[in-house]
């Protein structure tokens, strides 16, 4: 016979766990010395201990382990149990995979935003823009009221989205109240549905500026970009684009760190 400490070393189960299993009736010592309460285990019970360990490795809950060891005596009878248990574990894996997928997305997004935030410091850039397929809604109203349009676009075409959302401004000048705006998201594929147009947004040469900060102060950035164009006698087209590279996040909205690209296509 072994004392609890010896039995613990033999089986690899902690003393605390052995006492707990005794309490639960899962692994009862062969003898308990009355006055002292010392537990003594015989070598024959080692098999049961090993069985418990094996089932624990398969993440079977203790209660089920108890039932299994007491009601069955052959592994074949456990087939249906194992199959069921396996599907359950598989669904846990699926859940976790969903979580890693979300985390990956957030991580990638933040990484991008960070490099963008570090590289460009308010410098105007000339670049070539590819033609994009977009899903869009055209509406009139105030700048910054694109929320409803955006959520409509994402609920209809979100699964095909392949880039950052943007607003296209059709007015020549700043309009506070009744601006002519097209809110759009780039998509991989799709066709128009009632209320939403799918179309190509032509590419070409453009000047662009990344602005960091709250939307209220974006006027400065427009100033910088129009000045740049005027100085170099570049003609730009309407609509101009305002691309939301980084807006309010899932968790925080911190306008100081918003990144917005202003893009003027050149004629």
74 binds a copy of itself (CB under 8 A): yes
SS3 131: coil
Residues 191 and 228: beta-carbon distance below 8 Å: no
151 binds a copy of itself (CB under 8 A): no
Q: Please report, in angstroms and rounded to a whole number, the separation of the first and last CA atoms in the chain.
A: 93
SS3 3: strand
Residues binding DNA (CB under 7 A): 3-6, 8, 14-17, 19-21, 35-39, 56, 61-63
70 binds a copy of itself (CB under 8 A): no
The single residue among 99, 119, 121, 233 that binds a copy of itself, judged by CB under 8 A, is: 99
Q: How many residues does the chain have?
A: 267
Note if the bond before 236 is cis, omega within 30 degrees: no
97 binds a copy of itself (CB under 8 A): yes
93 binds a copy of itself (CB under 8 A): yes
Sheet holding 204-212, edge to edge: 125-129, 204-212, 259-265, 240-246, 166-169, 179-186, 132-141, 197-201
250 binds a copy of itself (CB under 8 A): yes
Residue 131's binding partner among DNA, a copy of itself, none (Cβ under 5 to 8 angstroms by kind) is: none
252 binds a copy of itself (CB under 8 A): yes
The single residue among 1, 103, 227, 238 that binds a copy of itself, judged by CB under 8 A, is: 103
115 binds a copy of itself (CB under 8 A): no
What is the C-alpha separation between 241 and 86, in angstroms, rounded?
52
What is the C-alpha separation between 30 and 56, in angstroms, rounded?
22
- Using the structure block, give the residue that is written with the tokens 């549905």: 193
Least distance in angstroms from the C-beta of 123 to DNA: 44
Applying CB under 8 A, which residues contact a copy of itself? Answer: 47, 51, 54-55, 57-59, 68-69, 72-76, 78-79, 82-83, 85-86, 89-90, 92-93, 96-97, 99-100, 102-104, 106-107, 110-111, 113-114, 117, 249-254, 256-257
């Amino acid at each position: 016979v072994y004392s609890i400490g010896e039995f613990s070393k033999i089986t690899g189960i902690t003393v605390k766990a052995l006492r707990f299993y005794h309490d639960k009736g899962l692994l009862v010592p062969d003898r308990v010395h009355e006055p002292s309460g010392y537990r003594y285990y015989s070598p024959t019970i080692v098999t049961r201990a090993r069985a418990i360990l094996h089932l624990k490795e398969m993440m079977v809950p203790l209660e089920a382990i108890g039932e299994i060891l007491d009601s069955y005596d052959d592994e074949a009878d456990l087939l249906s149990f194992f199959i069921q248990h396996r599907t359950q574990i598989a669904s846990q894996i699926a859940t976790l995979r969903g979580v890693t997928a979300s985390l990956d997305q957030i991580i990638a997004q933040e990484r991008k935003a960070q490099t963008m935030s570090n590289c460009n410091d308010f410098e105007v850039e000339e670049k070539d823009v590819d033609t994009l397929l977009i899903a869009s809604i055209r509406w009139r109203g105030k700048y910054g009221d694109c929320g409803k349009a955006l959520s409509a676009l994402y609920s209809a075409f979100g699964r095909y989205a392949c880039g950052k959302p943007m607003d296209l401004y059709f007015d020549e000048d700043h309009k506070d109240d009744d601006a002519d705006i097209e809110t759009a998201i780039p998509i991989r594929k799709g066709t128009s549905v009632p209320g939403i147009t799918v179309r190509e947004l032509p590419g070409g040469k453009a000047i662009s500026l990344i602005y960091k900060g709250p939307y209220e102060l974006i006027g400065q950035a427009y100033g910088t970009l129009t000045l740049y164009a005027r100085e170099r006698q570049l003609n730009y087209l309407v609509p101009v684009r305002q691309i939301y590279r980084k807006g309010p996040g899932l968790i925080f909205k911190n306008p100081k760190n918003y990144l917005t690209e202003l893009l003027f296509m050149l004629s």
